[in-house]
Amino acid sequence: MKLVFATHNPNKLKELQKLVPASIELISLETLGCHDNIPETKNTLEGNARLKADFITNKYKLPCFADDTGLLVNALHGEPGVYSARYAGPENNAQANMAKLLTNLKDATDRTAFFKTVIALNLNGETHIFEGKIDGEITKAQHGEQGFGYDPIFKPMGYDQTFSQLPLSEKNQISHRGRAFQKLIAYLKDTNVTR
């Protein structure tokens, strides 16, 4: 089965390719030749995931899923949330986003936060929603070289290392995106789509 992952982010694609069963061929937007910048104009993660999946399904007539992820920090009343990728500006600069977040948290005693991913799957004329979440805390400085986005400053609950310090295989087991994607794969298996 061919399934389009509606993302231009090679790091997300790399993470998920390690989780996909052999019966699913994950196709990137680059493989499709799609270079459209799909605007994320909704004010919820689910709204943005649906918007991206619908755009690709309508244009290419292929089964497709898209995700949207947010980092929600309790001391900042859920910021950056749906604006996580462009927290410091529209250029989606991870270093600038982390710097802004650390500055905004510099006097905070509560550094708890959680990542949430919402996946919208368009398949056979229906949309299915899958969610994944992981609790943790924001560190006071960056640690680790792997990962992307806020990974260097997010330490998952029960761990002494940030997402950037964990091996990718371990991060995939516990991450918000990994959990949401595992629900997607389970659904595809249960409905015999992957056979």
Residues with a catalytic annotation lie at: 68
Q: Is 157 helix (H, G, I), strand (E, B) or coil?
A: coil
- Beta strand 2-5 with 79-81: parallel, antiparallel or unpaired? unpaired
DSSP assigned state of 50? H
Q: Is 56 helix (H, G, I), strand (E, B) or coil?
A: helix
Q: Tell me how far apart the alpha carbons of residues 25 and 30 are, in angstroms, rounded to a whole number.
A: 14
- The count of other CB atoms within 10 Å of the CB of residue 144 is 16
Helix H or strand E segment including 45 = helix 45-60
Q: Is 171 helix (H, G, I), strand (E, B) or coil?
A: helix
DSSP assigned state of 129? E
Decide: 142 and 153 in contact? Cβ < 8 Å: yes
Q: Tell me how far apart the alpha carbons of residues 52 and 56 are, in angstroms, rounded to a whole number.
A: 7
End-to-end CA distance of the chain: 8
